[in-house]
Copies of this chain bind each other. A is one copy, B any other.
Amino acid sequence: MTKVNVYVTLRESVVDPQGIATKDALNTLGFDEVENVRIGKMIQLNIAGDQHEIESRVTEMCDKLLVNKVIENYHFEIEEAAGK
């Protein structure tokens, strides 16, 4: 089994209201050093089988379902291949 972490972030040009609200809340709590916050997703996939072709398969998953490429960027890490 292989673990893959997909990181999905909003494109720089896209406004992130959740991030703005979080920044404001942190500033209000006294964390004045926080200048900007952006919130993205981390998608952890457990994938059966070996690592053969896993990169192209995960890219396909991102393109078809996991990522909205109009407003989001992504990258992923193939984390580990455990026994089995």
Please tell me if A78 contacts chain B, counting CB pairs below 8 Å.
Answer: no
Instruction: Establish whether residues B7 and A33, one from each chain, have CB atoms under 8 Å apart when the complex forms.
Output: no
Instruction: Establish whether residues A44 and B48, one from each chain, have CB atoms under 8 Å apart when the complex forms.
Output: no
Residues of B contacting A44 in the complex (Cβ-Cβ under 8 angstroms): 9, 19, 36-40
Interface residues of A in 23-53 (CB under 8 A from B): 25-26, 29, 31, 33-49
In chain B, what residue has the closest Cβ to A3?
Answer: B36
Please tell me if A70 contacts chain B, counting CB pairs below 8 Å.
Answer: no
Which residues of A are in contact with B by a Cβ distance under 8 Å? 1, 7-9, 19, 22, 25-26, 29, 31, 33-49, 57, 60-61, 64-66
Nearest 4 A-B pairs (CB), nearest first?
Answer: A36-B46, A40-B42, A38-B44, A33-B48
